[in-house]
Structure 1
Amino acid sequence: MNPARRCSALLNQLCSRGGPTARGRFSPGPVSNPAGRRFSGAGGRQMGVDGTRPPLTPNGTSARTAATVCPMGGSSSRRLFGTLTQSLNSPTLAQQDLYREESPEQDLDRDLTGTDPDQLLRECQHALQRRPARLRRDLVQPGGTAPCCHEHNPSIRVLQWNILAQALGEGKDGFIRCPLDALNWQERKYLILEEIVTHRPDILCLQEVDHFYDTFEPIMTSLGYHGSFLPKPWSPCLDVEQNNGPDGCALFYRSSRFSLQAVSHLRLSAMMLPTNQVAIVQTLGCRATGRRLCVAVTHLKARSGWERLRSAQGADLLQSLRRITSRGGGQSEAASASVPLVVCGDFNAEPSEDVYRRFSSSPLGLNSAYKLLSSDGQTEPAYTTWKIRPSGESCSTLDYIWYSHDALRVDRLLNIPTEEQIGPDRLPSYHYPSDHLSLLCDISFREEPHGLSVTAALDQ
C-alpha cells in the first residue's frame, strides 16, 4: 500500500475509534506506521556503544511489534481531524533513508492551512476544562536590549521542548508524585497543543515525540507548518508493552514565513561509532528578510555516567553544523558566508559538562539564549526540568537554545516558572504536561556588515 493510501486508512481508523474514555492502544502485532516501518521490541540483540540495542533492520523484523495510532479523543477532535486528510498526503511519510540529506521539497509553497488556531485553542481549553487553568508565563526582554520592531526584520519565534514521550511517561519514567490521570494521553496531548498554539512559534523543535504521524504532523500541517521527524534507531519506547512507536526529534517551521533550502537527518556518532541519538538540521530561507537561517534539533544521551558520550555526540553534531552552515551552495559571495545558526535540544547535560563547554566555545560563535535572563547574562537558569522519581528529586538545567550571537539577537524570552508555580509535586503535573519546561525566544537578524543582502539569492 502506498503511503497516501495507508495514511487515509489510518485516518479512517483514527476517526472511527476513540471516545473520551478510549485509551487508544493497540495490542502488539505486525502493524506498520505511516512511513512503512515496523516498531518492535528486541529479542537478544547485541548492545550498542551507548548501551542501547542496535537499530531496526530496513524491514523492521524483530521478536515483537507494537505500532499504534492513537485517536485524538472525543467528537470535537474527530471533527477537527476530519479536516486534515489532505495534510497526511505528505512527502515526509514516504521517507525511506532516515539518515540523509534532502533537497528542498517541490511543493512546499502550496497553501497548507486549514485549521483556525483560535478554534483549535478553544478545543484544547474545552478538553481541559476539568483541569486547573494553565499557568501564565510572561515574555521578558533581556536586560540592555532594545526591542526589535523593524517591519522588514520581524522577530522569529523559536520554541524548544522535550514534550515527554507518552510510552515513557506512562510506562518507564516513574514520576511517583504525578497522578496517573495527569499522564493520560487523551488530555495531556491537549495541554501540549495548547502551549504550542498559544505561543504560535515560527519554528518548533521537539524531542521525545512518539505521536508524530497521528497527532503532531496532521495538526501542525493544518496550521500551516512543514515538519520533519527522525526517530531514534532504537527507542526506549519500544520496550514498553503498548507503545505508539519510537520516539524521536521533530522540527517544524511555518511555511508562510520560511522556504526550505535543505534538510539533513543525522545519526550522531561517538568514537567513530553510530549511537542511538539523532539530529535534524534544516536550512531555511526567511521570506521577510531574504536571509538564510540554519536550525537544528537534537536529544543527547541521558543519565549520569555518559558524560564522555554526550561530549563526543556534541562534537560530532558541531562538526556537521560547521559543514552545513559554511556551504556556498552556488550562491553569490554574500550568500556563501556562514549561515546563522539556532540549535535547540535536550542535551541531558548541566552547564558544568564538557558538551556544554564545547558548544559555548565553538568556532561557530554560539551563545545560550537563556543565559540572558540572568542579571549578568552569563548564568543559566536554575532548572529546565524538575522531577521526583523513586531514586529521588532531580532539579537540573538540561535544555538549551543556542544561537549565533554575531548574526542573531535575542529580543524576548519566556520566563521560567518559580518553585511555587511548579508546585511541591514538581513535573509533570495537571499544569505541566512534561517533565521538561518549554523554552521560547524571539530572535532577529543583526544588520549585515557593509549592508550586504542575499535577498536575490533566495527564491521568493
Structure 2
Amino acid sequence: MDASLKQIVQKDGTPALVSYLRDSCPIPVPPPDRVWKNFISQAERDAMELDPNVETFRVLCYNILCEKYATERMYGYTPSWALQWDYRKELILREIMANDADFVCLQEVDNASYEDYFLRNLSSHDYEGVHWPKSRYKTMGEGDRRLVDGCATFYKASKYTLVEKQLIEFSAVAMQRPDFKKTDDMFNRVLGKDHIAVVCLLENKETGTRLIIANAHIHWDPQERDVKLVQVALLIEEVEKIAHSFAKYPPRLPPTPSSIASSSTALSAAQNNASSRPPPIYSDGYKIPLIVCGDFNSIPSSGVYEFLSTGVVPPGHADFMSHLYGKYTSEGLRHKLGLKSAYAAAGELPMTNYTPSFQGAIDYIWYSTANLSVNSVLGEVDKSYLEKVVGFPNAHFPSDHLCIVSEFRVRPPKDSQPPRPPPVFPESSSRAHT
C-alpha cells in the first residue's frame, strides 16, 4: 500500500481511507446529452410552427433532493464535494435553464432554497413561482421553517397569467371525508404524513387557453403502498373539483390592439393572429388541459400507476394491503380525467431514480388526453455511462432523481363560444385546500 494511504488507515481507520479515495478519485467522463424522442415527424413540426392556431408548451418535472436529505450516511458513494448544496444547486439550475420549459415543477424545495436561490435566479429569466412547504412547517419556529421542503412550480410570466393557486394537504383533506372518520387505518397510517400538492390555474395571455398544473410529492415508503394510493386518490378528487370550479370562470377577453402595441415584447404575426381569436369556453373541468406531475414514488406496475392511467382501481386491490379506507376500499377508486403518462408512448423511462439499492421509474408527467397531445419527451441517460457509475447524485447528476421533460400541444375544446364579458376575479388569488 502507498505510504500516504497507509498513514490514513493508521491514523483514522479504514473508513477514512474509503472517504479519501472516494473524494479524490478521477471524475468519470460525462455522459452524452440525453436525446429527445419525437412522436411527430419533422414535417408535422414544421407545419405546427407555421400555424398560428397551434399552441405548444413544455413541462419539466424534477425532485431536486433537498439539502438536508443529501447526507453522507444516505449517499456514502457520492464524493463529499459533489454532495454539497452549493455544487448541486448550480447543476440543477443549469439543467432547468437548458430545457427552457414553460412550466417547471420541482419537489423537495425548502423555503430557504426557494426564496434565496431558485426564485431569485429564475425570476431574471422570465419565471414567476408558487411554493408551499409540507404541512409540518406550521408547527415550527421561523428558523426551522426555512428548512422544510415542499413543492415549487414556476411558469413563464410573459406567456401565462396565474389566475389562482391552491394547496392540497392530503392528511387535511382525508380528515374532511366522513367515511374516513371511523377508520383506524386512516388515523394510524395516513394522517401522520404531511405530503402535499401545489395546483396552479393559469391562462395563456394571448389565446385565453387555460391550463391546470398540479405538482405533487407522494409518500416514499415501499412498505406503505396503501398510503401512496390513498394520497393519489385524494389528489385526483381535489384536482377534479378544482377543474370544475375553474371552468365556471368567465373567459378573459383577448388583448386590445393598444395593449399589444404597448407590450415590451414584439409579437409575431402568428401570435397576433392567435390573440385575435375568441378565447375558448370550457363547459366543464374535463375540457381544461391538465398536467399532473411529480414524484409519485410508485413504479409502473403499482396501483398508483394503474389508477392514474386507467381511471379505475377495484376495492380489493393488493396495494390497499387489506387496510380499510372508507369508500375507497368498499367501492374502489374512479376518475374521469382521461390521463396518460407522457412517457408511455416510449415505454416509460428505465429509471427516474438511480441509487445502488433501487433503479426504477417513479416520477411522471400525466396529461389529459382529451385536450393535449405529446410532441416529444427527453430521453434516457446513456446506458454505457450508467454501467460505470454507482448511483446518483454524482459529479454530473445533482439529485438521485432524473429530470423529466415533455412538450405538449393543445387541442382547443370543441364547444368554444364567443367571449362573454370580462371576468371579475382578481389577477391572482390564493386558497388552500385544508
TM-score (norm 1): 0.64
Q: What secondary structure is seen at the aligned counterpart in 1 of 2:214? A: strand
Task: State the match for 2:204 in structure 1.
Answer: 286
Indicate if the aligned counterparts of 2:351 and 2:361 stay in contact, CA closer than 8 A: yes
Following TM superposition, by how much is the alpha carbon of 1:198 offset from its aligned partner in structure 2, in angstroms? Answer: 0.8
Aligned to 2:237: 319
Runs of 4+ aligned residues of structure 1 deviating over 6 Å after TM superposition are 453-460
1:191 alignment counterpart:
91
Q: Which aligned pairs between 1:151-162 and structure 2 lie closer than 5 A?
A: 151-162=52-63
1:357 and 2:306 are equivalent in the alignment? yes
User: Residue 381 of structure 1: CA displacement?
Assistant: 2.1
Shift of the alpha carbon at 1:350?
A: 0.9
Residue pair 1:291, 1:455 contacting (<8 A) in 2 also: no
For residues 215-256 of structure 1, give each alpha carbon's deviation from its aligned partner in whole angstroms, at most 9, with x where no partner exists: 111112222211111111237xx9xx9996111110111111
Matched, 1:385 2:353: yes
Letter in 1 for 2:67: Q
Report if aligned partners of 1:132, 1:430 keep a CA contact under 8 Å in 2. Answer: no
Q: Percent of counterpart pairs with the same letter?
A: 30
Match of 2:282 in 1: 335
Q: Alignment partner for residue 106 of structure 2, among 186, 196, 206? A: 206
Give the letter aligned to residue 169 of structure 1: A
Which protein has the bigger helix share?
2
Query: How far apart in 2 are the matches of 1:133 and 1:424?
Result: 11
Asked if residue 425 in structure 1 is aligned to residue 390 in structure 2, the reply is yes
SS at match of 2:61: strand
Query: Which amino acid is 2:39 matched to?
Result: P
Counterpart code for 2:76: I
In 1, the alpha carbon distance for the partners of 2:422 and 2:211 equals 13
3-state secondary structure, aligned to 2:349: coil
Unmatched segments (≥5 aa) in structure 1: 1-129, 375-379
Structure 1 contact 347–398 (Cα < 8 Å) conserved? yes
Distance apart, 1:181 and its partner CA: 0.9
Alpha-carbon displacement from aligned partner over 1:417-436 (angstroms, at most 9, x marks no partner): 13323342121110100100
Q: Between the two structures, name the one with larger relative contact order (CA 8 Å, sep ≥ 6).
A: 2
The secondary structure found in structure 2 opposite 1:449 is coil
SS at match of 1:326: helix
Q: Which amino acid aligns with 2:37?
A: V
Counterpart pick for 1:306 among 221, 224, 229: 224
Any gaps of 5 or more consecutive residues in structure 2? 1-26, 175-179, 182-186, 252-279, 312-334, 428-434
1:1-60 deviations in Å (ceiling 9; x for gaps):
xxxxxxxxxxxxxxxxxxxxxxxxxxxxxxxxxxxxxxxxxxxxxxxxxxxxxxxxxxxx
Bigger CA drift: 178-187 or 265-274?
265-274
Cα distance in 2 between the residues matched to 1:394 and 1:224? 37
- Please state whether the residue corresponding to 1:153 is helix, strand or coil: coil
| CA shift in 2, pair 1:330/1:304, >3 Å | closer
Q: What corresponds to 2:323 in structure 1?
A: none
1:113-170 per-position Cα deviation (integer Å, ceiling 9, x unaligned):
xxxxxxxxxxxxxxxxx99667412222126794343334332010000011111012
- Superposed CA deviations along residues 254-299 of structure 1, whole A, max 9, x for unmatched, are 1111011111111013446643100100110012432100000010
How many pairs were matched up? Answer: 317
Q: State the alpha-carbon separation in 2 of the partners of residues 408 and 457 from structure 1.
A: 26
Correspondence 1:41-190 to 2 at 5 A: 135-142=32-39, 146-147=44-45, 148-149=48-49, 150-170=51-71, 174-190=74-90
Report what 1:437 is aligned to.
402
Contact 1:232 / 1:247 at 8 angstroms: preserved in 2? Answer: yes
What's the counterpart of residue 168 of structure 2? 266
Q: Distance in 2 between matches of 1:439 and 1:453?
A: 37
Q: Which residue of 2 aligns with 1:119?
A: none
> Does residue 1:230 correspond to 2:132, yes or no?
yes
Corresponding position of 1:110:
none
Q: Distance in 2 between matches of 1:455 and 1:157?
A: 29
